[in-house]
Each structure stands twice: as structure tokens, then as C-alpha cells.
Amino acid sequence: MDGFLLIDKPAGITSHDVVDRIRSRFQIRRVGHGGTLDPAATGLLVLFIGKATRQASIFLESDKTYLAVLRLGETTDTQDTQGRLLKKQEIPSLTRDKIETVFSRFRGEIEQEVPAYSAVRIQGKRSYALARAGLPVPRSVRRVIVYDLAVLNVRLPEIEFEVTCSKGTYIRALCAAFGEAFGCGGHLASLRRTRIGSLSIDQAVSLDEVAPHHVIPITQVDRRVQDVKAIRIPERARFLSPSTSSGRTRAKESEGRRLAQADSQGPTSGPEDPAPEGNFP
């Protein structure tokens, strides 16, 4: 069996748990996934079966779209709901215009500090293992691209937003940065991935319903990969001015890049930790 599956991952299990369930249900060992969703997150997870695992790195480098909820007034050590509450602060009076103004600062190419509770390796050890042990975690900064960022609903203390971003973007770090910008702290309350490259959550099936006939044949994998390559993350991007009606910024791509990377699994809600997991050739 060679091909790929589009799974709507439920909350409460790891991406690797999904891989294990498919291995068991389909009685096949060679299964991997193309981009981690951590336990609390839901949404689109692409699984590769058999020879299709060779295409995984293409999907790992693709831009991704998320629906997220920011909760203001509370700062946690993991930048999401899974961590320890560090501080509670009063939320200032915020108008929709003020919120839009703050969000506009985070469109385009930005720097993010990699969360201490992430699966990146530091001298052979996971960053989250160091953090849990109370050991110092060296500060690491990466550059990412936020192509599109839109405020959807405001019901303080929560703000629902949609973001399309490059590989390696930590949505919880983005939420923590929003909280700092508003002067009251904040963390990621919920996260759902709705798109990877040209693949949409609308095409996915639930883990309970998935069956062998849902496997997309490898002949179609190659075609889908070409679709993903067509919208590959650029090395350099020119950003259009945000639309006054939608408040969104679109990235116009200029040149692509390839990144060979295995999938990953982190202990908290950070979807792009570059640590190996799964079973790739």
C-alpha cells in the first residue's frame, strides 16, 4: 500500500499516536507524517504510507494555515494551556482598531524566540526536557514569515484569529508576543490546522472513520506534490499592502527552497518542532 491520508486529528493524542493507529489498523509499518500537531491541537495531519514517505519533506516545508484563539491576561510557562500559570494581569481597554493595529505589526518577516518547551535539540537533549528539569535553556531566535493574519472574532479575554505562515512558526510564541504587545500577557488557548500547502481540512477524514479506501494512490501523490511545490515557501518574499476590507497581507512568492526534514513531536502546542519522529527512508 503506497499513498497518503488526510486525517482530521482530534485533541488529546500526539501526531505519532495517529501514525501508530494507522500502522495497526492497516497492518503496515512504513508510515510517517508531514508536520506535527501537538496533543492539544486539532486539524489537518498528512500521513504518508509506503513509498509515499519519500515525499514528506515537501509537505514539511509548505506554508500552513491555522485557526487559533489567543487568551489575554494570563501568561504560562509553555505559552499555551498545558503549562503552569506564571502571571495574571488586568486586560486594558481594547477596541477592534487597537487589536488590528497590534496584529498588523506581526505580518511579514518576523523574528521569533523558540519556546523553551519545544522539541528542538540542544547538545543532544530536547529543549523541553531541560526546561522541565529546571535547567537553563539557551535563547534561540528564528526568522519566519507570516503571510496572512486576520482577526476573526473578539470576545475578551479571547481573540480568535487565522494565520498563514511559513514552516517553523510557533503559534504559541506568536500569542505570547501578542500578549506582550497588549501589555497584559497572553497564551494560546486553542489551535486547529486547516491547510498545508494546497491541501485543506475539508478533504480530511476523522481517525475513527478512516479506511483503506481513503488512501490516495501514490500516482496522485506526485500530482499533489507538484501542487505544493507551486506554492513553496520563498527564500525572499515581497509583501503586498493589507486590504482595507479584510486586513490581510498576501505574500507574493519569488523563489522556492527545499528543506529535508523528518517529522516531529513536542510536548506542548507548538506545531513545528524540528525533531525526528515517524518512520522515513
**Catalytic amino acids?**
38
Angstrom distance (rounded) from CA 163 to CA 184: 22
Closest CA to 16 of 269, 263, 206: 263
16: which 3 cell numbers?
Answer: 505519532
- Strand pairing partners for 239? 251
Exposed / middle / buried, residue 168 (Cβ in 10 Å: 0-12, 13-18, 19+): buried
Q: For residue 157, is the peptide bond before it cis, meaning its omega torsion is within 30 degrees of 0? A: yes
Closest CA to 274 of 54, 266, 188: 266
- The number of angstroms, rounded, from the C-alpha of 23 to the middle of its chain's C-alpha atoms is 24
Task: Give the CA count within 13 Å in the CB-facing half-sphere of 61.
Answer: 19
Q: What is the Rg, in whole angstroms, of the alpha carbon atoms belonging to the chain? A: 19
b/e per residue 204-240 (b: at least 16 CB within 10 A): beebeebeeeebbebeebeebbeebeeebbbeebeee
Task: With beta carbons less than 8 A apart as the criterion, state whether 61 and 167 touch.
Answer: yes
Task: With beta carbons less than 8 A apart as the criterion, state whether 104 and 70 touch.
Answer: no
